[in-house]
Amino acid sequence: MKLSEPVARLKRKARLLSRAEGIPLHAALDRIAVGEGFRSWGLLAARAPSAAGEIHAGLTPGDLVLLAARPGLGKTLMGLELAVEAVKAGQRAFFFTLEYTESDVLARLRAIGVDRRELGAAFAFDCSDAISASYIEDALATAPSGTLAVIDYLQLLDQSRDKPDLDSQVRALRSFAQRQGVILVFISQIDRRFAPSRNRFPALTDVRLPNALDLSLFSKACFLNGAGYSFRSLQ
């Protein structure tokens, strides 16, 4: 059953309802669940798609997605979860990382409850130091429309002097994604100055950019903060 809104928003509605009517939160949650066609919140939560499932459902071929959060808040895990969701949907998925080793990637798959062998040939990961826009284009040259690729992470793409600048690489990948119909998800760092005490989620202005990059190149953005996320279209 398709929910009218993401689970996080339904929880917020329940909290507001609890305050407005002075009822326990569990009663408010159950009332929201009934409105969605479930007998209780427990049943809704058990059958609702995961955060990664909700985000993946909002992606379309040709998207360039910014996936950003402060350190330690699950950017890499979410990237891998999106790749797993793509495989579940019958699509191919790739994980390009300039940050982790093969054993690191396998460990993080286990952390989200996934055995690499279960994904089969539909999932591939690459830990080469040579990863760049042209490298990714070559790897995805025959990938069918709807293929999802995660790049971990944005700020490392131009770390070597022999690679084009970051803006040029992202522009090239944007054109490629639109031509090929693939979905590219860029994991990104957030500036240390971001203060979660003032804002629940980061914004585009909080993305750490040691080198120039036009963020309007991205079609969608997902910002993580603890168990919650903010996902929206940028165009």
For the stretch 56-78, pLDDT in tens is 999 999 999 999 999 888 899 99
Average pLDDT over residues 191-209: 89
Please report where in the chains the tokens 């919140």 appear, as a residue: 41
1 pLDDT above the threshold of 80: no
48 pLDDT above the threshold of 80: no
User: Residue 227: which pLDDT band, with cuts at 50, 70 and 90?
Assistant: low
Average pLDDT over residues 219-230: 88
Chain centre distance of CA 220: 10
Average pLDDT over residues 44-63: 88
Q: Which CATH architecture group holds 51-233? A: 3-Layer(aba) Sandwich (3.40)
Contacts of 119 (CB under 8 A, 6+ apart): 84, 87, 93
Asked if residues 80 and 109 have their Cβ atoms less than 8 Å apart, the reply is: yes
Asked if residues 151 and 184 have their Cβ atoms less than 8 Å apart, the reply is: yes
Average pLDDT over residues 165-170: 97
Q: Quick one: tokens of 218?
A: 């991205």
Cα dihedral 10, 13, 19, 22 in deg (nearest 10): -70
Amino acid 10: pLDDT: 84
E strands, the chain, where?
A: 64-69, 93-97, 123-126, 148-152, 183-189, 220-225, 228-233
Cα dihedral 118, 178, 174, 100 in deg (nearest 10): 10
What order do you get walking across the sheet with 64-69 strand by strand? Answer: 123-126, 93-97, 148-152, 183-189, 64-69, 220-225, 228-233
Amino acid 160: pLDDT: 87
Amino acid 235: pLDDT: 82
Asked if residues 70 and 190 have their Cβ atoms less than 8 Å apart, the reply is: yes
Amino acid 178: pLDDT: 98
Q: Which of 177, 163, 165, 80 is nearest to 128 (CA)?
A: 163
> Could you count the other beta carbons within 10 Å of the beta carbon of residue 219?
20
Q: How far apart are CA 39 and CA 29, in angstroms?
A: 11
Which one has a higher pLDDT value, 163 or 161? Answer: 163
Residue ranges covered by each domain of the chain: 7-47, 51-233
Amino acid at site 113: G
Amino acid 198: pLDDT: 84
Average pLDDT over residues 202-212: 93
